[in-house]
Amino acid sequence: GAVVSQHPSWVICKSGTSVKIECRSLDFQATTMFWYRQFPKQSLMLMATSNEGSKATYEQGVEKDKFLINHASLTLSTLTVTSAHPEDSSFYICSARDRWSSYEQYFGPGTRLTVT
Amino acid sequence: GQNIDQPTEMTATEGAIVQINCTYQTSGFNGLFWYQQHAGEAPTFLSYNVLDGLEEKGRFSSFLSRSKGYSYLLLKELQMKDSASYLCAVRSFQKLVFGTGTRLLVSP
């Protein structure tokens, strides 16, 4: 149980285009999902917290107009990188917290984004 | 502010024991997690400590001292497949704040 999927697993896009990444909790309901970014040989940095049915909360320094987050259902959150630039190339990982769990987060397999 | 420190890299030999330390200073504390992450993959959960003391789970043990802002992950009977990054993360006000991560290389 407690499986989180991400789609796509990798994507290459051209500079200036937008890319949407999906995060799904497959066998549980997630009222809260988190989006992280990880650059090579660095740790995970929280970008935003996504709550079902409400606006996402962004961490300091993360542009909300560039990284659009939608959490329309208890099993799906999406991250759209708008007007992507090469510096947005990174590993994006989502995690989801079971609505009945007090502490554990389950991580998705990640999405490798390369902007050319 | 939030500050979580771990050694950058460690090396050990197969069959040995290794201890990875983590020190933290965070504005809130609701527990400490250890994750294992292989290159290009998502982190996988190893352990969770919210009270002081040692939690043992097979070859892995994790220790927490809240008064010292200190934790360690102990890996016994090291195997080659244990070569990975180990991430210490503190749960602070419903969010996970990750440490810098420790790359562990296990050699034969």
Task: Please report the pLDDT score of residue B103 as a whole number.
Answer: 96
Residue in the block written with tokens 């190339």: A89
pLDDT band at B79 (very low <50, low <70, confident <90, very high): very high
Is A109–B41 a contact, with Cβ atoms under 8 angstroms apart? yes
- Contact status of A32 with chain B (Cβ, < 8 Å): yes
For B19-29, what is the mean pLDDT? 94
Q: Which residues of chain A have pLDDT under 70?
A: 1, 102
Task: Please report the pLDDT score of residue B68 as a whole number.
Answer: 96
Pairing mode of beta strands B9-13, B102-107: parallel
- A110 within 8 A of B42, measured Cβ to Cβ: yes
When CB atoms are compared, the residue of A41, A42, A105 closest to B96 is A105
Task: Please report the pLDDT score of residue A102 as a whole number.
Answer: 63
Is A44–B87 a contact, with Cβ atoms under 8 angstroms apart? yes
Task: Please report the pLDDT score of residue A67 as a whole number.
Answer: 96
Task: Please report the pLDDT score of residue A1 as a whole number.
Answer: 64
Backbone angles phi, psi at A86, to 5 degrees: -55, -30
Is A42–B101 a contact, with Cβ atoms under 8 angstroms apart? yes
Residue in the block written with tokens 């250890």: B34
- First-to-last CA distance in chain B? 41
Q: Chain B: nearest CA to A93, how far in angstroms?
A: 7
| B10-22 pLDDT per residue, tens | 999 999 999 999 9
List the single best residue of A35, A44, A92, A107 to mutate versus B (max B Cβ within 10 A).
A44
When CB atoms are compared, the residue of B44, B91, B98 closest to A43 is B98
Q: Chain B: nearest CA to A107, how far in angstroms?
A: 6
When CB atoms are compared, the residue of A41, A103, A110 closest to B31 is A103
Q: Whole-angstrom Cα distance, residue B64 to residue B66? A: 6
